[in-house]
Amino acid sequence: MSHFKPFRTGARHQAARRLRLATLLSLAAPLAACSGVDRVVTSSIGQEDYRVRHPIELTQGKANLEVMPEVRAGELDSRTQAQVKEFAEEYHRHGSGEISITLPEGGRSAAEARAALPGLRRALAAGGAHGYVHVSHYPVANPVLASPVRLSYSAIVAEVPTRCGQWPNDLASGSSTVGWNNSEYWNYGCATQQMMAAQVADPRDLVGPAADTPPDPQMRGRAIKDVREGKDPGTSWKTQNTNLSGIGGMTN
């Protein structure tokens, strides 16, 4: 007759618990080792991005215009009038302070510039600039060359602080392995940023959009009227196609 040795259930459960605890500790060990490492904070734009290397900055600067005025029969030429009028409209929308007119002093353009001054004032007033106008002179370095009349006012301007055309590294990588990184070269995007800064109509648009303009009451009233009468409120545009083969005497 064999002796029956009863199984101890409590000891079995304790062994299983110790096994699970050892497993959890082994999994948590790599995580504990990483807890002392400093976190790396990255931004959405890399440091080698062209927007970081050649950023567009808004500064309090000068809006400038150079014109070559001509006076015919006591009147300013139409080209200069249109330029100065548009300049005054921009000042009325975005400018501040006084408008400066700098005339050339000496040379062949000096007399023409003085004669054009009354017409320049009238063109500024026609564009909505009714403030004070400061008139000054600048010396002409070469009296033989035509010298412009310079107009300016204080405004927020967009500009790129870096200068284009810088090549600190060899693109061909003849002397180093810098070009093997497949990264943007230093001058990349500089011309595009410079062009965008020069062409933006209102530099403040680079910071945020302007407020919505109010709706056109006539267009809104027409659309509501059409809906009430059961008509299509959409706008239909009629276009007339041109036979390109008939232009300039061309025939099929």
**pLDDT tens profile 201-229:** 888 888 888 888 888 888 889 889 999 99
Amino acid at residue number 169? N
Whole-angstrom Cα distance, residue 2 to residue 126?
122
Structure tokens belonging to residue 92: 């009325």
pLDDT score for 81:
95
pLDDT score for 40:
46
Task: Give the three-class secondary structure for 226.
Answer: helix
Whether 137 and 104 have beta carbons less than 8 Å apart is answered as yes
pLDDT score for 149:
96
Amino acid at residue number 6? P
Whole-angstrom Cα distance, residue 45 to residue 247?
52
Structure tokens belonging to residue 151: 């107009």
Model confidence pLDDT, tens digit, residues 120-161:
999 999 999 987 899 999 999 888 888 999 999 998 889 999
Neighbour-count burial of 174, counting CB atoms closer than 10 A to its CB (0-12 exposed, 13-18 middle, 19+ buried): exposed
pLDDT score for 30:
54
Phi-psi region of 222 (alpha: psi -120 to 50; beta: other; left: phi over 0): alpha
Characterize the bridge pairing of strands 133-139 and 96-105. Answer: parallel
**Structural domains in the chain plus CATH codes:** 61-159 (3.30.1330.60)
pLDDT score for 89:
92
Amino acid at residue number 133? V
pLDDT under 50 in the chain at which residues?
Answer: 2, 4, 6-7, 37-42
pLDDT score for 125:
94
